[in-house]
Structure 1
Amino acid sequence: LTVRATFAEIRDAIRDMPRPMRQLAGAMLCQWYAMFAYWQYITFAVGRSIFGTSDHNSALFREATLTTQQAGAIYNFIAFLGALALIPVVKRFGARHTHAVCLAASGAAMLMIPGAATPGMLFVLMLGIGLGWAGMMGNTYVMLADCIPPERNGIYMGIFNLFIVIPMLIQTLTMPLIYRPLLGGDPRNVLLLGGGLMLLGALATLLVDAGHKAPRAEGLATGQG
Structure 2
Amino acid sequence: MADSGGAAGAPAATATRPRLGFWPIWNMSFGFLGIQFGWGLQLANMSAIYAKLGADPDRIPILWLAGPVTGLLIQPVIGSMSDRTWNRLGRRRPYFLAGAVLSSVALFLMPDSSALWMAAGLLWVLDASINISMEPFRAFVADKLDESQRTAGFVMQSFFIGVGATLANVLPYLFHKMGVAGTTAGGIPLTVQYTFKLGAGAFLLAVLWTVLTTGEDPPADLEAFRRRRAETGGLRRGLAEIVDAIGAMPRVMRQLAVVQVFTWLGLFCMWMFFGLATARYVFGATASGSPEFDRGTEWGGIAFAVYSVVCFAVAFALPGLAARLGRTRTHAACLACGGLGLLSTWFLRDPYLWLLSMVGVGIAWASILSMPYAMLAGALPPERVGVYMGVFNFFIVIPEIIASLSFQPLVKHLFGNDPLAVVLLGGSSLLVAAALTTRVHDVTATAAS
Instruction: Name the TM-score, length of structure 1 as normaliser.
Output: 0.88
| Conserved 8 A contact 1:110-1:191 | yes
CA distance in 2, matches of 1:165, 1:89: 29
Runs of 4+ in structure 1 displaced over 6 angstroms? none
Residue of structure 2 aligned with 1:77, choices 285, 292, 309? 309
Counterpart in the other structure of 1:113: 345
> Structure 1's 79 and 4: CA in aligned 2 closer, same or farther, altered over 3 A?
same
Counterpart in the other structure of 1:66: 298
SS of equivalent residue, structure 1 residue 42: helix
What displacement does 1:212 show? 5.4
CA distance in 2, matches of 1:2, 1:55: 51
Q: What residue identity is the alignment partner of 1:4?
A: R
| Conserved 8 A contact 1:74-1:126 | yes
Establish whether residue 127 from structure 1 lines up as the match of residue 341 from structure 2. Answer: no
Establish whether residue 6 from structure 1 lines up as the match of residue 238 from structure 2. Answer: yes
What displacement does 1:181 show? 2.4
* Larger relative contact order, structure 1 or 2 (CA cutoff 8 Å, min sep 6): 1
Counterpart in the other structure of 2:267: 35
Counterpart in the other structure of 2:419: 187
Gaps of 5+ in 1: 214-225
Q: Deviations over 1:165-218 (max 9, x none)?
A: 2222122112113112222321110011001000001111111222259xxxxx
Q: What residue identity is the alignment partner of 1:208?
A: V
Gaps of 5+ in 2: 1-232
Establish whether residue 167 from structure 1 lines up as the match of residue 399 from structure 2. Answer: yes
| Conserved 8 A contact 2:341-2:356 | no
What displacement does 1:142 show? 1.2
CA distance in 1, matches of 2:328, 2:381: 19
What displacement does 1:36 show? 1.3
Instruction: Calculate percent identity across the aligned residue pairs.
Output: 38
| Conserved 8 A contact 1:75-1:127 | yes
Counterpart in the other structure of 1:92: 324
Counterpart in the other structure of 2:41: none
| Conserved 8 A contact 2:375-2:444 | no
Which 10-residue stretch deviates more, 141-150 or 155-164?
141-150
| Conserved 8 A contact 1:49-1:114 | no
Q: Deviations over 1:26-45 (max 9, x none)?
A: 11111111111211101111
SS of equivalent residue, structure 1 residue 171: helix
| Conserved 8 A contact 1:146-1:210 | no
CA distance in 1, matches of 2:347, 2:322: 32
Counterpart in the other structure of 1:147: 379
What displacement does 1:3 show? 2.6
CA distance in 2, matches of 1:43, 1:106: 17
SS of equivalent residue, structure 1 residue 148: coil
SS of equivalent residue, structure 1 residue 117: coil
Q: What residue identity is the alignment partner of 2:425?
A: L
Q: Deviations over 1:138-183 (max 9, x none)?
A: 1110121243233432221111122222222122112113112222
CA distance in 2, matches of 1:186, 1:48: 9
Which 10-residue stretch deviates more, 144-153 or 203-212?
144-153
